[in-house]
Amino acid sequence: MFDDSLLDDPLALSVRGDLVHKLALTGARLRCERSEEMATIVAKLGGLQPRTILVIGAESRLIRAIVECGSPVPCVAWQMETLPAWTGPLDMVIVLTGPDSRWIPLSREAMRRGSMIFMVAPQDSKAVIEATAVPKLVTHDEDPFLAALLALKVLDLLGLGPALDLNLVADTLDEVAEISGPRHGLETNPAKNLSCALADAVPLVWGASTLAARASRRVAEALREATGLPALAADDAALAPLIQAAHPHDVFADPFEQATVKTDFCLLVLDDGESSVGTMDLARLAEGRSLRVERITFSHENPIVRYAGLLYQGLYAAAYVGLATMKE
């Protein structure tokens, strides 16, 4: 059951609002990440142009999406438990590891093969303790997006990726926190308002561009974790049949009558002002079926900043849904 009065309840925010407060500090946490280790890795790998960049672990597909259009070498996102057979001394391997030890064997195998390698790992993770020989950037927390940003910054400094100003991304995260943070009430907080729209429906989260689609998957994942209920992110071809088959929303239906209970979908569109070739307008399709359509918009010339703005608006909304949902 969703209780919107909890969104502005100071006690609820203090007891159940840890995630909201953590999101509000993301910009500050990014500014606190260390640069000395980054300089060491750049000094070691500088001047070497790899044949391929192989990115392993969480947010590897985000890095590929950012890098592949502007890098002088191919970039591959990898999620398998073994390295590709072709990986060798001519390739750069980037390992993004969380608190577990899942990717440690791959990092060791990459070193054995003589690959150019570095790892981004949380300071308390098993990777820091067990993979001591692997060059690494040690982060202050387990946020996979911050780990991806540090890896992207290294690629920028090596001339293998687009320019990235971490302070600009941190400023963007602060701007999102300013409008979506807990100090703003429901009447003026777009993330709290969005949480109310998403709470009583099955969210279908969609982004028309490559980066918006990546953000949509993270937002849907955050919604599922917050509520334990379904939330789906997919491309337009997969979502269109669901929308076409959905029952139009009836504002006069009595939600307490079993005969009128149907699955209500809410289409959440993440719009960064870009779109992939050939994508259909799902918003128009949903509106034609009288389904609720909500939007998160953020535009910027820098693709990483666009992604951060979209993602964190969605993460705030998901956090508020979790805050105000009383699980049985």
Q: What is the pLDDT of residues 67-103, one digit of tens each?
A: 987 889 999 999 998 999 999 999 999 999 988 788 9
Instruction: Provide the percentage of residues in the chain whose pLDDT is more than 70.
Output: 94
Instruction: Provide the percentage of residues in the chain whose pLDDT is more than 90.
Output: 68
Residues whose CB is less than 8 angstroms from the CB of residue 117 and which lie 6 or more positions away in sequence, other chains included: 92, 93, 94, 95, 107, 110, 111, 134, 135
Query: Global pTM?
Result: 0.91
What is the pLDDT at residue 130?
82
What is the pLDDT at residue 252?
67
The CATH class of 28-164 is: alpha beta
- Return the structure tokens found at 174: 């602060």
- Return the structure tokens found at 235: 């491309």
Would you list the domain boundaries of the chain? 4-17+182-324, 28-164
What is the pLDDT at residue 250?
63
In one-letter notation, the amino acid at residue 27 is G
What is the pLDDT at residue 264?
85
Alpha helices in the chain (DSSP H): 10-16, 18-24, 26-31, 36-45, 60-67, 104-112, 126-130, 144-157, 166-180, 190-199, 210-227, 236-245, 282-288, 303-324
What is the pLDDT at residue 256?
60
Q: How far apart are CA 223 and CA 315, in angstroms?
A: 8
Does the pLDDT at position 257 exceed 70?
Answer: no
Q: In this structure, are residues 53 and 68 in contact, taking their beta carbons and an 8 Å threshold?
A: no
Q: What's the mean per-residue pLDDT of the chain? A: 90
Nearest to 198 by CA among 233, 245, 235, 231: 231
Range with the largest mean pLDDT of 221-225, 256-260, 324-328: 221-225
What is the pLDDT at residue 219?
97
Find the mean pLDDT for residues 31-56: 89
Q: How far apart are CA 219 and CA 318, in angstroms?
A: 7
Does the pLDDT at position 169 exceed 90?
Answer: yes
Q: Among 70-74, 188-192, 213-217, where is mean pLDDT lowest? A: 70-74
Does the pLDDT at position 278 exceed 80?
Answer: no
Q: Among 66-70, 221-225, 281-285, where is mean pLDDT lowest? A: 66-70
At 258, the pLDDT band (50, 70, 90 cuts) reads low
Q: How far apart are CA 71 and CA 248, in angstroms?
A: 46
- Return the structure tokens found at 177: 């926190």
- Return the structure tokens found at 159: 């001339």
pLDDT per residue over 96-144, tens digit each? 998 878 898 999 999 999 999 999 999 888 888 787 888 889 888 889 9
Residue in this structure with the two tokens 């995630």, named with its chain if needed: 19
User: Measured in Å, how far apart are the chain's first and last C-alpha atoms?
Assistant: 8
Q: How far apart are CA 210 and CA 229, in angstroms?
A: 26
Find the mean pLDDT for residues 155-169: 94
Of the options 3.40.50.10490, 3.40.50.880, 3.40.50.150, 3.40.50.300, the CATH number for the domain spanning 4-17+182-324: 3.40.50.10490
Dihedrals φ, ψ of 108, to 5°? Answer: -65, -40
Neighbour order of strands in the sheet with 52-57: 75-78, 52-57, 91-96, 116-122, 136-139
Nearest to 137 by CA among 94, 75, 79: 94
Find the mean pLDDT for residues 46-63: 93
pLDDT per residue over 233-250, tens digit each? 999 999 999 999 887 666
At 260, the pLDDT band (50, 70, 90 cuts) reads very low
What is the pLDDT at residue 261?
46
